[in-house]
Amino acid sequence: MAEVVEVSDVRRSYGDYEAVRGVTFSVARGELFALLGTNGAGKTSTLEVVEGLARPSGGLVRVLGRDPYADRAAVRPRIGVMLQQGGFPADLTVTETAAMWAGTLTAPRPVAEALDLVDLAHRTNVPVKQLSGGERRRLDLALAVLGRPDVLFLDEPTTGLDPESRRNTWELVRTLLDDGATVLLTTHYLDEAEELADRLAIMHQGRIVRTGTVAEVVASQPATVSFALPPSVPRDRLPDLAGTLVVDDGDRLEMHTDTMQATLTGLLVWARDHGVELRELSARPASLEQAFLAVASSPSSPEPERAEVAA
């Protein structure tokens, strides 16, 4: 697949503070790539550079084969940008705001169509200042897709939306992907990344430290088998299961393993053979949340990973 977004060893500094520290990734045509990370991880700073809103302090950025900052006049008509805050005139109505934005575009879709896509058709004559926070986010999204962009940048697109509006936004993004758009998304919602992302990267302290498909990132973490033993069964009677780490918190034991089925089978066979009742037994596969928290809780960034386009 052709690379639509290329980011190579990008850095961005604010004075002496380096917010983005050598980030590398690329996004294929028709792919949704998600950037995850805690507040201050460098997601928005990275996105602003890729959007062409800021010049990188170092490294190379290409969007549709061009430098989005130096060649902004050529790149801008082919991208859509949804910032964390739109900042549109509060006294204009929803339709007036969309029409004003459409006037800056080469071949916009009809304003009514864009507003309908984000479920704002019933609010067309309402001033922006009277919209709820969620409705303003939907208006921001309508303006981002108004120009039928080849590449769409979404910075926290569903923050402040109710669950139904979030689901509707996901469906719209899927439709845009089906139509051939490429999407670079930042989000705090892990379920959003799981639902939408073809690949993702987790940032920490300005670096990408985990990257791949959801399944690949989750596979970096162990599964967990937890249970309680009867008081009469000493802990040292537990079976020795290769590759399994046992954590004893006093009331329950947890087994962390990369081979959940083998570990669980070995434990259950041992319990059956020794007549032991495993109380409150549960088995949980690794999750994206677990992988995210493992990165977020680390005291410092390990060596950065390179996020490449899948073959």
Please tell me whether residues 62 and 184 are part of one structural domain: yes
Given phi > 0 = left and psi -120 to 50 = alpha, else beta, which region is 269? alpha
What pLDDT shows up at residue 309?
42
What pLDDT shows up at residue 310?
42
Reduced to 3 states, what is the DSSP secondary structure of residue 274?
helix
**Span 119-129, pLDDT tens digits:** 999 999 999 99
Domain annotation covers residue 310: no
Largest CA distance in the chain: 77
Please tell me whether residues 64 and 212 are part of one structural domain: yes
CB count in 10 Å sphere of residue 299: 5
Asked whether the predicted pLDDT for residue 302 surpasses 80, the reply is no
Domain annotation covers residue 274: yes
Residue 210 phi, psi (nearest 5): -145, 140
Instruction: Write the CATH number for 189.
Output: 3.40.50.300
Please tell me whether residues 233 and 193 are part of one structural domain: no
Asked whether the predicted pLDDT for residue 296 surpasses 90, the reply is no
Please tell me whether residues 35 and 98 are part of one structural domain: yes
* Long-range interactions of 293-300: CB distance < 8 A, separation 24+: 294/220, 294/221, 295/202, 295/204, 295/209, 295/210, 296/37, 296/38, 296/204, 298/204, 298/209, 300/205
Tokens of 24: 């590398």
Domain annotation covers residue 306: no
Domain annotation covers residue 302: no
Please tell me whether residues 76 and 187 are part of one structural domain: yes
- 202 and 170 Cβ atoms separated by less than 8 Å: no
* Full domain range(s) for residue 234: 223-285
**Span 149-198, pLDDT tens digits:** 999 999 999 988 889 889 999 999 999 999 999 999 999 899 999 999 99
**Span 75-113, pLDDT tens digits:** 999 999 998 777 778 899 999 999 999 998 888 999 999
What pLDDT shows up at residue 214?
94
Which of 2, 1, 42, 39 shows the shortest CA–CA distance to 24? 42
- 190 and 289 Cβ atoms separated by less than 8 Å: yes
Please tell me whether residues 141 and 229 are part of one structural domain: no
Asked whether the predicted pLDDT for residue 297 surpasses 50, the reply is yes
Cα–Cα distance for residue pair 253/263, rounded to 1 Å:
14
Please tell me whether residues 71 and 212 are part of one structural domain: yes
Please tell me whether residues 266 and 279 are part of one structural domain: yes
Q: CB-based contacts of 32: which residues, under 8 Å, 6+ apart?
A: 173, 177, 182, 183, 184, 185, 196, 197, 198
Instruction: Write the CATH number for 281.
Output: 3.30.70
Please tell me whether residues 214 and 227 are part of one structural domain: no
- Apex 298 CA angle, 297 and 299, nearest 5: 110
According to DSSP, the residues that pair with 71 across neighbouring strands are none
Average pLDDT over every residue of 33-51? 93
Please tell me whether residues 70 and 134 are part of one structural domain: yes
CB count in 10 Å sphere of residue 39: 7
Please tell me whether residues 197 and 246 are part of one structural domain: no
Average pLDDT over the chain reads: 90
Average pLDDT over every residue of 49-61? 96
- DSSP state letters, 199-221: EEEEEETTEEEEEE-HHHHHTTS
What pLDDT shows up at residue 1?
56
Please tell me whether residues 125 and 263 are part of one structural domain: no
Given phi > 0 = left and psi -120 to 50 = alpha, else beta, which region is 293? alpha
Asked whether the predicted pLDDT for residue 311 surpasses 50, the reply is no
CB count in 10 Å sphere of residue 77: 14
What pLDDT shows up at residue 307?
53
What pLDDT shows up at residue 289?
92
Higher-pLDDT residue of 89, 204: 204
Domain annotation covers residue 240: yes
Which of 33, 26, 24, 23 shows the shortest CA–CA distance to 2? 26
Domain annotation covers residue 270: yes
Percentage of the chain modeled with pLDDT above 90: 73
Residues in the chain, total:
311
Number of domains in the chain: 2
Domain annotation covers residue 301: no
Q: CB-based contacts of 210: which residues, under 8 Å, 6+ apart?
A: 201, 202, 217, 220, 291, 295, 305
Asked whether the predicted pLDDT for residue 303 surpasses 70, the reply is no
Rg (CA), the chain: 24
Domain annotation covers residue 210: yes
